[in-house]
Amino acid sequence: MASRRAKGDGSLRKRPDGRWEGRYAVGIDYATGKRIQKSVFGKTQAEARDKLRTAIQENRGPAVNFKGDYTVGEWMWLWFETYSKPNLRPSSVENYTNYIHYHIEPNIGKIKLKQLTPLQIQQFYNRTKESGRVKRWDNMEDLSLSNRVVRGIHMVLRQALQQAVNERIINHNPCDNCRIPKLEKTERKIIPPEQIRAYLQCAKERGVLPMFYLELTTGLRRGELLALLWTDLDVERRTITVNKSLSRIDGELVVSEPKTQNSVRTVVIPQQAVDLLVEDRKNHPDSPYLFPSPRTGGMWSPDAIGRLHKTLLKEAGITESVPFHGLRHTFATTALLNGVDVKTVPSMLGHYSAGFTLDTYTHVTTQMQQAAADKMGGFMENALPGESTPEPVPPKEGGGKIIPFERVG
């Protein structure tokens, strides 16, 4: 039976002859959509695991040719290791590595850097969007990649080629004349306001109410929430300091800086959230973590908290498929509809501008505009000419339905 490993770590299995085999991907065959795989072997599982780890590392970061006459693949790895990787968060390192390893290198990596043309890049983008997904199982039919992934590949390739222009290795950036797919606007899935209480009640019954209540009243990213320490809470000022994020990289939990500079922030939280956190602290007074895992005593795994969220949705009778990130959207939607200032919400979310927040939540701002139109209509009704003077109509208060976060239980 094959041994399951984290994404990008390959797989291990015991062969009928008693040896252990480690398999890992080295690229994609664009004719079939299947991964190109290689194997290493060992007499024991530990030996095969060590060989597999070494092979993956060597394959991801090949020796770079420093003669100056680079291929695209050689330049991509040199640029990545020298200019890009030292300034990236661990999760971004993984994304960049996958873009180069699984897409750029196997498709245009052998082309000489000085011979690369916009046409070759455009054909690469088109082919990648249509059939660039790694085929992870035999009956996988849809091999198309999302516009977001293709745009990510373009962003990495363009940065690398621009550095080559800056160093006068090539005269111009062939990416500049390429067309990339537009970024899709996806529906922001949220927990229906009328079902928030049921969701929190299920969280209480499972002993995780403080964590999920804090999430729904702050909109923290999952990694930010799980990385919180007890010292990040200021009980007197009712604030949470957000300055780190937790993610899983190559099977290991890694704490790093937040997503952007704007993500480093101090968020004021409701008194109810403070009370819940202080009371919960009695269950683990010696832990440095605000939310220690009941199984390990360390930080929660992002995958584990995602599975718990799905369980709460099911137990609460919520049929909508709301991802954990949907709790962040639920907070933002509820805050905007309840009249929280449009400049305050992005500062709590860690967005770089109010414009980005409003663009993200256009469905909410449409309702807010409708409410504003109703207010103005009521106010201006007195100014309408007519045969009789109408009774003054006071403007309506509030923009949307008030959805308070109540105590559960």
Judge contact between 250 and 60, C-beta under 8 A: no
Residue 51's identity, in one-letter code, is K
C-beta atoms surrounding 272 within 10 Å: 15
Nearest to 383 by CA among 398, 393, 372: 393
- Average pLDDT estimate for 322-331: 90
For residue 117, CA distances in Å to 113, 176, 295, 316, 368 come to 9, 11, 54, 55, 48
pLDDT at 63: 44
Bridge partners, residue 42, by sequence: 20
Largest distance between two CA atoms of the chain = 99
pLDDT at 114: 93
- CB-count exposure of residue 241 (10 Å: 0-12, 13-18, 19+): middle
CA–CA separation, 265 vs 128, rounded Å? 38
Residue 82's identity, in one-letter code, is T
pLDDT by residue (tens digit) across 92-145? 888 999 999 999 999 999 999 999 999 999 999 999 999 878 766 777 777 788
Sign of CA dihedral 190, 193, 198, 199: positive
CA–CA separation, 265 vs 247, rounded Å? 19
Residue 150's identity, in one-letter code, is V
C-beta atoms surrounding 60 within 10 Å: 17
User: Tokens 């080559």 belong to which residue?
Assistant: 164
pLDDT at 177: 86
CA–CA separation, 405 vs 216, rounded Å? 9
Looking at per-residue confidence, does 339 or 147 come out higher? Answer: 147
pLDDT by residue (tens digit) across 143-195? 788 899 999 999 999 999 999 999 889 999 999 989 999 877 777 788 988 99
CA–CA separation, 99 vs 72, rounded Å? 13
Judge contact between 337 and 364, C-beta under 8 A: yes
pLDDT by residue (tens digit) across 218-274? 989 999 999 999 999 999 999 999 999 998 877 788 888 876 777 888 888 999 999
The answer, as to whether pTM is greater than 0.75, is no
